[in-house]
Structure 1
Amino acid sequence: MYRRPLQFVARNFVTGAATRKALRHEACFSRALVAPQLARVSTPCLTTCRTLHITKQLCSVKETPQHTEEEVGAFTKFIEAMGFTGPLKYNKWKIKIAALRMYTCCVERVNYDEFFERCSLPDTLGSWFLIAQLHVWMCLVRMRQEGRAGKYMCRYVVHSMWEDVEQRSKIMGIDAIHRKEAMKAMTENFYAAIFGYDEGVLSDDCVLAAALWRNLFSRQCEDPRQLELMVEYVRKQMQYIDALDGEDLLLTGEVKWRPLVEENAQSIVKVVAPTYNDAGL
């Protein structure tokens, strides 16, 4: 019931946004995340070779161009210091509509059932929110690169997310007291998660895996292959969304996510789990 189509209530904007510019992503996924972790898993099936499918494009991440800071006048700086938004390059209402459409892409164009199954997540509102916030964060990372207009759009993407979560909570019949407590916990989780994800996407796969383990899996993941799958998923989505035209995103908000598991893998990498004999022990 919590996964019914998106419903929104028109109200004034509540400020809240994610931070940071997306810089360069780590290049190659061929050094697998699970190699050092599988040595500590005692199941016999992990000592054999297994095949991972990755695309060649993952080894050549596009370098994101650095956007120059937009120059604004003294009046614009003054009114924005007062908490208002000055004139933007595009119409504000168009940006708001694009932000709503972008958030809709995060909840309507993602196969949540596949995430629940492959990541062993319970089919609950909390798990839905953890997956949704991961995709919202990736959108925020991209839009922060588009200057003041992009930051303005980020605020409405986040605003749309909280409106949607509140509506879904009401549909589920959660009373006002428990709903307020749940919203507070989700808010704290969201802003803690984006800092962890920011650090992970700018670092190596181990740091990103740690952020996913803490936030997406809520420290409950015991299968390193699930972490490996999600690290690869985040890397390829960031590469894809970085290649999208910023002007189109500001005006349309259209994002088409790549599947969790690629069916037409272009290359195969074999990863052999290390053993004590391999380590010379």
Structure 2
Amino acid sequence: MALLVRVLRNQISISQWVPVCSWLVPLSPTQGRWGRPLFGTSQKIKIAALRMYTSCVKKTDFEEFFLRCQMPDTFNSWFLITLLHVWMCLVRMKQEGRTGKYMCRIIVHFMWEDVEQRGRVMGVNPYILKKNMMIMTNNFYAAILGYDEGLLSDDHGLAAALWRMFFNQKCEDPRQLELLVEYVRKQIQYLDSMNGEDLLLTGEVSWRPLVEKDPQSVLKPRSPIYNDEGL
């Protein structure tokens, strides 16, 4: 969608996205399973989800990832880095109950809209783009499952997941894996320190640098408990 691209490029404000958001996802989060109201409104959640996805692509230092992880500056590398940050947002928002899970759906929706639009802008053949989108979709869900298991495991388990999904089994430098494991752990911790209601309202997130200039600045809040319900 051209409007989404203009938002991501800061050509228009996110508030101008409001009229479009109303029809993107039909399921309303304002009613619970038994008709109880949930936090916020559908429109506000969609705007917050757009802001959160925008944070994944606008506030991430892709050049630093390309350099330190020795990744080629390609569309696939961009997708792998974006996917990692989207996943970390999903991990955080799943802790916010049904409303947070609803927001996760919209974040993923915006991600695929952006991926498809970028492919079109690059002039990719529609047939090839559709085929690649199917491959990326499969890779996305495989990565989500792998990263979830790695997060709940020790650093060896998380490193194995990153080696398979992020590096596509082609990383031969253990220092790169160590760097990325540390990055994911501290970033999850940092996101956990953010107020859930604020995230549902604004969707604004920031990212720790890949390499900390001041390691003492990393927050160390109480570790949350993750379960199958995401609560």
Give the TM-score range, shorter chain.
0.7 to 0.9
Conserved? CA contact 2:53–2:110, under 8 Å: yes
Aligned to 2:105: 155
Question: What is the CA deviation profile of residues 28-61 of structure 1, one whole-angstrom value per residue up to 9, with x for unaligned ones?
Answer: xxxxxxxxxxxxxxxxxxxxxxxxxxxxxxxxxx
Aligned to 2:82: 132
Aligned to 1:207: 157
* 1:117 CA drift (Å): 0.5
Partner Cα separation in structure 2 for residue 110 and residue 71 of structure 1: 34
Structure 1 pair 233/148, CA: closer, same or farther in 2 (3 Å)?
A: same
**Higher-RCO chain (CA-CA 8 Å, sequence separation at least 6):** 1
Question: What is the CA deviation profile of residues 201-247 of structure 1, one whole-angstrom value per residue up to 9, with x for unaligned ones?
Answer: 11100000000001110111010000000000000000000011000
The answer to whether structure 1 residue 105 and structure 2 residue 117 are counterparts is no
Structure 1 pair 89/14, CA: closer, same or farther in 2 (3 Å)?
A: closer
Pick from 146, 150, 174 the counterpart of residue 224 of structure 1. Answer: 174
1:258 match: secondary structure? coil
Conserved? CA contact 1:208–1:231, under 8 Å: yes
Q: What TM-score, normalized to structure 1? A: 0.67
The answer to whether structure 1 residue 233 and structure 2 residue 194 are counterparts is no
Partner Cα separation in structure 1 for residue 129 and residue 25 of structure 2: 20
Conserved? CA contact 2:159–2:181, under 8 Å: yes
Pick from 186, 198, 203 the counterpart of residue 248 of structure 1. Answer: 198
- Paired residue total: 199
- Within a 5 Å distance, the mapping from 1:57-136 to structure 2 comes to 72-73=33-34, 76=35, 87-136=37-86
Structure that is richer in strand per residue: 1
The answer to whether structure 1 residue 263 and structure 2 residue 210 are counterparts is no
* 1:265 CA drift (Å): 3.1
Aligned to 2:24: 12
Pick from 171, 174, 177 the counterpart of residue 121 of structure 2. Answer: 171
Partner Cα separation in structure 2 for residue 174 and residue 132 of structure 1: 20
* 1:72 CA drift (Å): 4.3
Query: Which amino acid in 1 is paired with 2:77?
Result: S
Partner Cα separation in structure 1 for residue 100 and residue 213 of structure 2: 33
Partner Cα separation in structure 1 for residue 52 and residue 33 of structure 2: 27
Superposition CA RMSD, Å: 2.2
Partner Cα separation in structure 2 for residue 266 and residue 108 of structure 1: 25
Pick from 88, 94, 102 the counterpart of residue 144 of structure 1. Answer: 94
Conserved? CA contact 1:14–1:159, under 8 Å: no
* 1:13 CA drift (Å): 3.0
* Percent pairwise identity: 63
- Within a 5 Å distance, the mapping from 1:23-38 to structure 2 comes to none
Partner Cα separation in structure 2 for residue 101 and residue 112 of structure 1: 18
- Which runs of 5 or more structure 1 residues have no equivalent in the other structure? 16-69, 77-85, 268-281
Question: Which aligned segments of 4 or more residues in structure 1 are displaced greater than 4 angstroms?
Answer: 7-11
The answer to whether structure 1 residue 183 and structure 2 residue 133 are counterparts is yes
Partner Cα separation in structure 2 for residue 218 and residue 106 of structure 1: 21
* 1:255 CA drift (Å): 0.4
Q: What TM-score, normalized to structure 2? A: 0.81
Query: Which amino acid in 2 is paired with 1:152?
Result: Y
Determine which structure has more spread, i.e. the larger CA radius of gyration.
1
* 1:266 CA drift (Å): 4.2
2:214 match: secondary structure? coil
Conserved? CA contact 2:32–2:38, under 8 Å: no
